[in-house]
Amino acid sequence: MDTVPDILKVSILGRESIHCGFHLIPYIARTVLTTLPASVYVLVTDTNVAQFYLSAFEKAFSAEINKLSSAKPRFLSRIILPGETTKSREGKADIEDFLLLERCTRDTVILALGGGVIGDLVGFVAATFMRGVRFVQIPTTLLAMVDSSVGGKTAIDTPAGKNLIGAFWQPEYIFIDAAFLESLPEREFSNGMAEVVKTAAIWDETEFTSLETNAQLIYNAIRTPSTGYAGRHISTRSTSQSLLLSVIRGSIYVKSHIVTIDERETGLRNLVNFGHTIGHAIEAVLTPHMLHGECVSIGMIFEAEVARAMGVLKQVAVGRLVRCLRAYGLPVSLADQRVSRCPGARGLGVDRLLDIMRVDKKNSGPQKKVVILSRIGATYEQKATAVDDALIAKVLSEAVTVKVDLSTTLGTQHVKMATPGSKSISNRALVLAALAQGTCKLKNLLHSDDTQVMMAALQELKGASFAWEDGGETLVVTGGAGALQVPTAGTEIYLGNAGTAARFLTTVCSLVSPSAATNAGTATVITGNARMKQRPIGPLVDALRANGSEITYNESEGCLPLSIAPKGLQGGVIRLAASVSSQYVSSILLCAPYAREAVTLELVGGAVISQPYIDMTIAMMRTFGVIVTRDPGTDIYRIPQGTYMNPAQYAIESDASSATYPLAIAAITGTTCTLENIGSASLQGDARFAVDVLARMGCEVVQTANETTVTGPKRGELKAIGEVDMEPMTDAFLTACALAAVAQGGEGNTTRIIGIANQRVKECNRIKAMIDQLAKFGVQTKELDDGLEVYGRPFNTLTRGASVHCYDDHRVAMAFSVLGTIVPDTIIEEKRCVEKTWPNWWDDLENKIGLKVGGIELPRAESSTAATSGTPSRAASASVILIGMRGSGKTHVGTLASAALSRRFIDADAYFEAKHNIGVREFVRVNGWPAFRTAETESLKEIIQEAGTGHVISMGGGIVETPQARDVLKNYAKTGPVVHVLRDIEEIVSYLGDETARPAYGEPITEVFKRREPWFVECANYDFSNHITVDGGEATNAEISRFFKHIIGQPNLAENVAAGKRSYFVALTYPDVMPALRHMSDLTTGVDAVELRVDLLRAPDALGAIPSQAYVTAQVAALRRATSLPIIFTVRTISQGGAFPDNSEKDAFELLGLALRLGVEYIDVEISASERLITELAARKGFSQIIASWHDWSGKMKWTEDVVRSKYALASRLGDIVKIVGKADTLQDNFALHDFVAKANLQRGAKPIIAINMGVEGQMSRILNATLSPVTHPLLPSKAAPGQLSFAQIQKALNLLGQLPARRYFLFGNPIAHSMSPTLHNAGFEVLGLPHTYELLETANVGEELKATLAAPDFGGASVTIPFKLDVIPLLDKLSPAAEAIGAVNTIIPVIEGGNRILCGDNTDWLGIRESIRSCAPSIGAPAAALVIGAGGTARAAIFALQSLGAQCIYLFNRTASKAQALVEAFPDAPIKLIETLDVWPAEGPSPTVIVSTVPASATTIDSTNPGAVLLPLALFDATTNGVVVDMAYKPAVTPLLMLAKSAAPKWARVMGVEVLLEQGYIQFETWTGRRCPKHVVSKSVLEKYFAAA
């Protein structure tokens, strides 16, 4: 085999030491051994790189060493953990210790094989080991290739910051083997591309152009494995590979050139910091969640915008930069979901970023320095430029304000400008100029994705060549006169999601003639992104095929990708269905002159859509020399044969909708504005705005064919114009509204805009948007069926400082900026939404129109911290949509869910009725089912549009019947939760009862169920099992709350999974969990989660080893009813110690996917599974967490070995929690494990790790493991693994090991001898195996004894009762808000704050009351009225509890009115009403549904002859409703009040004082120990003792 590769060399600091190529490993070994003689070669790499390349290096070196006849040097390798945390002092010491241990001497050569981390770390080791040894860089990431390996900078990080300690140390060689990039994760590749793009942007426009057009080709080089060492020699190098290498080399060349001139970074070298000033600040906030290159990418765009705002850089350049970075998968703004999902994203405030930028090496004094681009490929200065903070702040702000100075008159100002080119005209002009003969200078071309891909495609087809002039303002097109070629073999034309380009190019590609198919390509393939592959192209392809073109669909029928054979266009009669898109018509028209026969184009198939666009195409063809005729009164067009002739220059007309804004500003401010490139000859409807609207409003309008000038009347003198039909220029209506807001005169200052109904379904419901936002200015409006009326007001009476929400709609933002020019302090909230059509609008407003624009920082909204559930991306605020069969309980579930989430509930049927003024059934009867389904789908779209966030929406059962509605739902499910409410069909049938006897849809309900079931599954991304009938409510309520909180981002995760805490789970090892459910309280004692071993589940009658989805769903639902703990969903394979077949990976992942749909909190995924499947699952995990697990059952794995590090690295990458399980043979193995965990935890951002050793010898590891330790329980059928201990056993062991010191808890009070509290807490401690004690401390006062107890180091906490609830307060450091409000303390908790132990006072009495009410009567919710009897300390707790339940009215009864009045004053915000008798409610208000008595039992009576006590009347209870009565009196168990309730209101729930005591005791227990109280055991002990004493 020929291993001498073709090498490209680059020189740096005068030596050709950078060698680039493909598959260089043998070459590297040979070069190093022959030119750098040494006694030992040490290769250092990380676990990720080692798995791919280490053995090849070992082989190559060994082969070369064997060839040596002299003394044979040693070759050693050292593998370390990957990641930035390794770049530390410890990491350096680790390598140095290794070198010393291996007796390496000064002649050692160290090879750094890896990314920038390895390069920086190993370089620094080399710089200082034995005062410096030789080293070689072998970068394996793109970033390392083009950046970190070149230049000789080496460094490590310290806790004080990155790269603070290091040295300049040049490597002997830098070997760039681009084949390494094939194994690099794409995100890392993109990370490096940020540097590549940056270098081209500051230095080399040609290189940049190549990058912007060739993204696809460059990706091909890393996505297609180069087998057989392809690329090692030029002869075997693919086009993609050559391109990749040239891109890398180009970048390195620039960097080495700059380094050579300025090695120690004094001036010029600063240029490579483009994007870094702002990028670094962003990185500081988002690290480690965002990569360096990703942050720099965003930084580059911000810095380019700074340059644009300075007037130095044109928007064209900013646009090119944005598109180029996007093409390499990089984020370009802080709005990118990857950013907003980062935990730290909320910290990206402008001030914070500016503050971070303050410490930048480049700054000169207080002024920040930014590399300012002047165009693509060049910078403004040969160094970074000083920039004011205010300018950076403006660019970084999300919102803007136009600074208005009403004291000045702008009267004489005359603005002349051009607005961005029209998109439709730009696309047509490109095709025409390319197909024409000669050269044409296109001016004012819109730079968009469409035009960009169109140009790339035309170049690919060798149809034309393009060059930029005037810094990108002019595009010079040299046309190919219609001669086109099939692209080079293997090259597909990639169009992204550019719709116009796809349609136009389909016919353009069919023009390629057979003779032009020279390059071995047999057909032209056009393709696009996933969305593009769904967009229709069928009618056009049908027409072309019928005309003889050979076009095949490569994937789905009717969509891209297409293969188009080079046959030329036949011509003659072409028939086209033109009712879907006018772009099909334009596509054929544009190409028709080049057909073999003159074309007659007949439009068939119904009304032709968008005729103006067809007219536009024909008019433009005429300009390029081809005259189309239309047979009068028909849709038949005749196109002669011919060749287009390029005019020398073609100015693309401005976009007419955009043009309305500067003209409106002239109108409203009383100034003059002339727009070039748009006039009366325009074919765009909105071009009539000036004449039809502005002139009528009192402006002077002068319009020539190509120019429009508007002069406004004096400020404040615009006229209201009565009615205006804006049907021909609908997009301009928002601009008109802004003007109408200040227009006067006519009847009631009214401007009535009609003909714009379609604007309800644009980027937002624009009519509603204008109405809502104008209201903020105090402007009144009225909505009409097809428009609105605006009632103008004098401009100086409009509300100042309005903050306009733009609904992410560019037109809303720009329209309100018009109003903002005369209403001071107007804020436009989302300034970036203008990017869709006029990205530099705000800069143009300042630099061209002359109005000052300032940045405004809005308070940052709650950012959604997490990803999604069951979907790739999701905002936590997205509305939840419920679907499911009629009778499945959607309304019930939806109502409870909306209560749990505090959201509004929308019932789609009710919405429909309100909208159509007719019931659903009636609508169907009158209009029939098809009409109903269509209307229902429209309603669905509207609801999503209007209530897309913050709601819970329940849809009708039949919503899935039409494909259209299913599409809407599926589309919604890409970013929002769609929940399928499941209920057993038998239950539904019996629930619907009689109704089902008459088949509602003419078929039995079970048939309907069968048909719809798959559609529900297909449309939903979550499943909720509704079991109301099974448990009657309480568990269902709890589960509804848990499930819906989970899907909106408040998952029920185990709180004890956190640093410094210990958490546990119990594994359920049952084939069927049902029989275990009644033991669930025992089984889960102390633990934080339950593991469902799905691999062990077996339905009683099922065959095979794989449980069905339905069975698993039922098991999960049953488990949810028995416990509120989070579930760990585990499908353990046989080879990892479970029972799931090893060869059924797909089935396993289907079950794991099901777990996501069910809202399971933790999903255990084995890292031995396919990484692709794991990553795909993780992408959909939403708010669930992944436990990435690895089990070594062989017993051979040693915690000190590299293999553990690599498993750990892989698991940390794939999971949120790492689980590694080994086996211990000796106690020592546990120490090794402990050591590994301690080191792993030191890494910044380390994930929680479950690390245990199996076997009896491994028990120690189970005791010491901190995260989710698996525990067993005596009631379980079998231990899930050998060596497992119970929760209580572990606590005892921890205590013995000194890890869980015993604490003393107390009750302070007097008298307390009969208290139940010691029984309560001591029973709890005992069951959990906790070493603590609870004792009584009965003292006469709050004196020394009590103080000493509080100060003792083993004091764990105390309960406080009468008479000390107030007296203890002075001894405490801090009170909780509840204790503060109630004015009493019943719980003392010692906590560590800022390193000091402080004592906190809390009051859990109110919680006890609230929880008793909630658990006894969950349906009570927020009571309309409640009653409190008594006015002492407990009454205060009762009022606080009722307030927190949301009681709308609290009646308060107390014998002594003055005490009651004092309470009213103590709770000024509570809706308290004093009452004097217990049977009349004031002002006929509602009777209470919650009653809490806080007086001793002896103070009440039901015996009317007992004069000493308050007589409780029968009328106290409204027996017709549900209610709950709580008697806080502790003795006797059944008080007069409870007795009365039993007889008078049997439906009411009754709560005894001892039950409240228990509830508040549980809460105390949990606060003190951090563990759930084992309620079942504790309550049993307490109640037994209580009743025994009674």
Ligand X SMILES: NC(=O)c1ccc[n+]([C@@H]2O[C@H](COP(=O)([O-])OP(=O)(O)OC[C@H]3O[C@@H](n4cnc5c(N)ncnc54)[C@H](O)[C@@H]3O)[C@@H](O)[C@H]2O)c1
Instruction: Give me the least distance between CB of 283 and ligand X, in Å please.
Output: 10
Closest CA to 1545 of 1569, 1525, 1517, 1573: 1517
Interhelix angle for 1202-1214 vs 47-67, to 10°?
A: 140
Is 1333 annotated in a binding site? The answer is no
Instruction: Give me the least distance between CB of 262 and ligand X, in Å please.
Output: 14
Is 45 annotated in a binding site? The answer is no
Beta bridge pairs of residue 856? 399
Q: Please identify, using beta-carbon distances, which residue of 19 and 1332 lies nearer to ligand X.
A: 19
Is 1454 annotated in a binding site? The answer is no
Closest CA to 650 of 376, 463, 436, 506: 436
Is 948 annotated in a binding site? The answer is no
Instruction: Give me the least distance between CB of 324 and ligand X, in Å please.
Output: 20
Is 157 annotated in a binding site? The answer is no
Is 180 annotated in a binding site? The answer is yes
Q: Please identify, using beta-carbon distances, which residue of 291 and 1431 lies nearer to ligand X.
A: 291
Cβ neighbours around 638 below 10 Å, total: 14
Output the six-digit token pair for 620.
Answer: 């433009």
- Could you tell me if 1333 and 1325 are in contact, meaning their C-beta atoms sit under 8 angstroms apart? yes
833, 1019, 1400, 1573: the active-site residue: 833
- 726: buried, middle or exposed (CB in 10 Å: 19+, 13-18, 0-12)? buried
Active site residue 280: yes
Is 90 annotated in a binding site? The answer is no
Contacts of residue 253, Cβ cutoff 8 Å, sequence gap at least 6? 10
Residues 288 and 713: their CA atoms lie apart, in Å, by 57
Q: Please identify, using beta-carbon distances, which residue of 185 and 1546 lies nearer to ligand X.
A: 185
Instruction: Give me the least distance between CB of 115 and ligand X, in Å please.
Output: 2
Instruction: Give me the least distance between CB of 548 and ligand X, in Å please.
Output: 49
Instruction: Give me the least distance between CB of 45 and ligand X, in Å please.
Output: 8
Instruction: Give me the least distance between CB of 732 and ligand X, in Å please.
Output: 49
Q: How far is CA 1567 from CA 924, 1358, 1390, in A?
A: 58, 11, 10
Instruction: Give me the least distance between CB of 156 and ligand X, in Å please.
Output: 9
Q: Please identify, using beta-carbon distances, which residue of 20 and 1114 lies nearer to ligand X.
A: 20
Q: Please identify, using beta-carbon distances, which residue of 384 and 883 lies nearer to ligand X.
A: 384
Is 270 annotated in a binding site? The answer is yes
462, 805, 1027, 1219: the active-site residue: 1219
23, 368, 1191, 1223: the active-site residue: 1191
Is 271 annotated in a binding site? The answer is yes
Output the six-digit token pair for 1172.
Answer: 């692709």
Report H helices in 1020-1164: 1028-1031, 1034-1047, 1080-1083, 1109-1122, 1145-1157
In 808-863, at which residue ranges do the beta strands (DSSP E only) sit?
Answer: 827-828, 852-856
In 800-903, at which residue ranges do the beta strands (DSSP E only) sit?
Answer: 803-804, 827-828, 852-856, 880-883
Active site residue 1314: no
- Could you tell me if 685 and 728 are in contact, meaning their C-beta atoms sit under 8 angstroms apart? yes
Q: Please identify, using beta-carbon distances, which residue of 121 and 304 lies nearer to ligand X.
A: 121
Is 362 annotated in a binding site? The answer is no
Is 314 annotated in a binding site? The answer is no
Instruction: Give me the least distance between CB of 861 and ligand X, in Å please.
Output: 31
Instruction: Give me the least distance between CB of 201 and ligand X, in Å please.
Output: 17
Residues 722 and 908: their CA atoms lie apart, in Å, by 37
Residues 1169 and 1148: their CA atoms lie apart, in Å, by 10
SS3 category, 791: strand
Active site residue 1321: no
Tell me which residue has tokens 């015996």.
1503
Residues, the chain: 1590
- Could you tell me if 268 and 274 are in contact, meaning their C-beta atoms sit under 8 angstroms apart? no
Task: Give the footprint of ligand X on this chain (CB under 6 A).
Answer: 46, 48-49, 52, 82-84, 87, 114-118, 120, 140-141, 143-144, 147-148, 151, 153, 162-163, 180, 183-184, 188, 191
Active site residue 833: yes
SS3 category, 170: coil
Is 147 annotated in a binding site? The answer is yes
Instruction: Summarize the chain as % helix, strand, coil (round to 5).
Output: 45, 20, 35
Instruction: Give me the least distance between CB of 279 and ligand X, in Å please.
Output: 12
Q: Please identify, using beta-carbon distances, which residue of 186 and 615 lies nearer to ligand X.
A: 186
Q: How far is CA 938 from CA 338, 914, 915, in A?
A: 32, 14, 11
Q: Please identify, using beta-carbon distances, which residue of 116 and 958 lies nearer to ligand X.
A: 116
DSSP string, 403-433: E--TTS--TT-EEEEEPPBPHHHHHHHHHHH
Instruction: Give me the least distance between CB of 1275 and ligand X, in Å please.
Output: 44
- Could you tell me if 465 and 459 are in contact, meaning their C-beta atoms sit under 8 angstroms apart? yes
The helix or strand, by DSSP H or E, that contains position 1164, with its residue range, turns out to be: strand 1162-1166
Is 645 annotated in a binding site? The answer is no
19, 23, 92, 280: the active-site residue: 280
Tell me which residue has tokens 């050709």.
16
96, 186, 265, 1338: the active-site residue: 265
- Could you tell me if 1070 and 1057 are in contact, meaning their C-beta atoms sit under 8 angstroms apart? no
Residues 232 and 21: their CA atoms lie apart, in Å, by 7
Residues 926 and 340: their CA atoms lie apart, in Å, by 49
Tell me which residue has tokens 């500051």.
202
Q: Please identify, using beta-carbon distances, which residue of 5 and 566 lies nearer to ligand X.
A: 5
Q: Please identify, using beta-carbon distances, which residue of 1175 and 1543 lies nearer to ligand X.
A: 1175
Q: Please identify, using beta-carbon distances, which residue of 113 and 1249 lies nearer to ligand X.
A: 113
Contacts of residue 1360, Cβ cutoff 8 Å, sequence gap at least 6? 1307, 1308, 1309, 1368, 1385, 1386, 1387, 1388
Active site residue 447: no
Q: Please identify, using beta-carbon distances, which residue of 162 and 1234 lies nearer to ligand X.
A: 162
Residues 426 and 439: their CA atoms lie apart, in Å, by 16
Is 264 annotated in a binding site? The answer is no
Strands 1162-1166 and 1185-1191: parallel
Is 140 annotated in a binding site? The answer is yes
Q: Known binding site for Zn(2+): residues?
A: 195, 276, 292
Q: Known binding site for NAD(+): residues?
A: 46-48, 84-87, 115-117, 120, 140-141, 162, 180-183, 191
Q: Known binding site: residues?
A: 46-48, 84-87, 115-117, 120, 131, 140-141, 147, 153, 162-163, 180-183, 191, 195-198, 255, 269-273, 276, 292, 361, 884-891
The residues carrying an active-site annotation are 265, 280, 833, 1191, 1219
